[in-house]
Amino acid sequence: MFEIPKKPYGKLDLISADDHIIEPADVWTKRAPTKLKEKAPKIVVGADGVEMWKVEDRATPNIGLSAMAGKSFEEYTAKAQNYRDMRLGCYDPKARVADMDLDGVKTQVCFPTVPSLGGENFFSINDPELRDWAIATYNDWVVEEFQPTAPGRLIGLGILPLYNPQMAVKELNRIVKRGVKAVSIPCYLEGAKDCKSFVDPWYDLVWSACEEMDIAINLHISSAKRGGSEFLKNPLPGTAESYITSAPLSNFQILSDIIWTGMLHRHPKLKVVSSEGGIGWVPYFLERADYTYNRHRYWTKSQLTQKPSEYFHRQCYVAFISDAAGVACRHMIGIDNLLWESDYPHTDTTWPYSHKSVEQSLPGVPEHERRKIVFENSQRIYHLN
C-alpha cells in the first residue's frame, strides 16, 4: 500500500537535479502591465469544468501524468488535472518544501511547466512583446517568489529567448545577477519558432556567455520534438508505454550531436546536463562514439581533437532516478558526471521514498561515491553553498 510519511525524514542529504514546478495560476496575471493584462498567460475554465492554461489562442490543461506525486500507481492518469486535484506541493513552493522534508531532500532543481521544459511553448507566441515578457516574467517569478521561499532549497531553471541569441545573452546576464543558477533549453530547438538547432554556431555567443558565468545548460528529455514518429500517429495499444520507455534515449542523440558538431570543442568550459535521460546507456554511448571516432574521423575530416568520451567526461552530466546497469558501470561514466534526481511530481518520481530508492539503486557504492552522486556533484554544478 502507498502511504505518505507523517513526519519529516530527519536528514536532508539528497539534492535532486530534476524536478518540475507547476506554476501557480497568477504568475503572469499578477505581474502583467496594463497593456498585457488581457494577453498574459492565465487559467481559463472550460464548460466541462477543466482548467486550461491559455497562451494566446492555445489552451492546454495540466496533464495528469505531470502531477502524480502522492498518488499510487493504480491511480495514475493522463486525464487533465485541476489545481484542486493535485497535491499542493506540485504548485505551492511552501508545500513543496514540506514535501521535500518528508522525503529527506535538501534541494530540488526545477524545470518550468507552462512555458514547457525549455521555454519552447512561449517561443511560439506570435505577439513579440508578449513573447519576450512571458519569458522574462517566468524568470522574475523564479527569483522573486519561488527561490526565496526556501533559499538554497528551491532552484528554478531559467529560460532564455533563444529566437534571438543577442537577447538571450542579455536575459542571461540579467537573471544570473538576480540569482538564477542554471538554465533549461529545448532539446530540439530547430523545431521551435524562429530558432535553429542549438549546435548551430548561431548560438555560440549564448554558450560563450554560459561558459563565462559558469551556467550549466539543462536538456530535459521530451523537451520539444524532433521529426515525427509515424508510430506515435498509430493508436495501437502499447504506444504510450513504448513512448515512455524510449523517451530517455532522445538524450543519447542530443549528447551525440553536441559532441560531434564541436559545440563542446568550441566551448570547453560549457557544462551540459542531461535531465531524466537515465545513465544505463551512457557507457555504450561513450564506447560507440569512440569507436566511430577511431574509424570515421579520417573521411569525415572531424574537427574534434580528442575522443568524444573525453569531451563527455570534461563537460557532461547525466541525471538518473534508479538505474542498476548504469550504477554497475558507473566508473565508465565517471563518478563526477552523475547526478541523482527525484522527478517530483511526475510519474517517475521516487517521492516520498527517495532514500529507499537511492539505497536500492546504489548497492555496494562506497560512501564517498554515493555522496558525489546524490549531493556534491549537483551542489557544485548548481552553485549551492
Scan residues 55-84 and list those touching a copy of itself (CB under 8 A): 73-78
Stretch that binds a copy of itself, among 40-48, 125-133, 147-155, 197-205 (CB under 8 A): 197-205
* Of 195, 178, 175, 177, nearest in space to 187 by CA: 195
3-state secondary structure of 59: strand
Minimum CB distance to a copy of itself, residue 147 (Å): 30
The stretch among 96-104, 129-137, 246-254, 362-370 that binds a copy of itself (CB under 8 A) is 246-254
Residue in 70, 118, 186, 248 binding a copy of itself, rule: CB under 8 A = 248
Least Å distance between CB 142 and a copy of itself? 29
Number of residues that bind a copy of itself (CB under 8 A): 74
Q: Of 324, 307, 320, 309, which is closest to residue 377 (Cα–Cα)? A: 320
- Does 2 bind a copy of itself (CB under 8 A)? Our answer is no
Alpha-carbon span 292 to 13, nearest angstrom: 40
Q: Does 283 bind a copy of itself (CB under 8 A)?
A: yes
The span of 25-33, 35-43, 88-96, 300-308 binding a copy of itself (CB under 8 A) equals: 300-308
Sort residue 26 into left (φ over 0), alpha (ψ -120 to 50) or beta.
Answer: alpha
Binding part of the chain for a copy of itself, among 91-99, 165-173, 213-221, 285-293 by CB under 8 A, reads 285-293
Query: Which positions from 334 through 363 interact with a copy of itself, judged by CB under 8 A?
Result: 347-348
Conformation bin of residue 49: beta by default, left when phi > 0, alpha when psi is -120 to 50: left
Q: Where are the beta strands (DSSP E) in 83-161?
A: 105-111, 154-156
Q: Which stretch binds a copy of itself (CB under 8 A): 21-29, 83-91, 102-110, 280-288?
A: 280-288
Site for a copy of itself contains 149 (CB under 8 A)? no
In whole angstroms, the minimum distance from the beta carbon of 305 to a copy of itself comes to 13
Residue 152, all three cell numbers: 538554497
CB of 251 to a copy of itself, least distance (A): 11
Q: What's the CA gap between 291 and 296, in Å, rounded? A: 8
Q: 298: exposed, middle or buried (C-beta count within 10 Å: 0-12, 13-18, 19+)?
A: exposed
Among 295, 306, 356, 359, which residue interacts with a copy of itself (rule: CB under 8 A)? 295
**Closest listed residue to residue 257, CA positions, set 281, 274, 243:** 274
| CA separation for the pair 297, 121 (Å, rounded) | 38
Q: Does 298 bind a copy of itself (CB under 8 A)?
A: yes
Smallest distance, Å, CB 365 to a copy of itself? Answer: 16
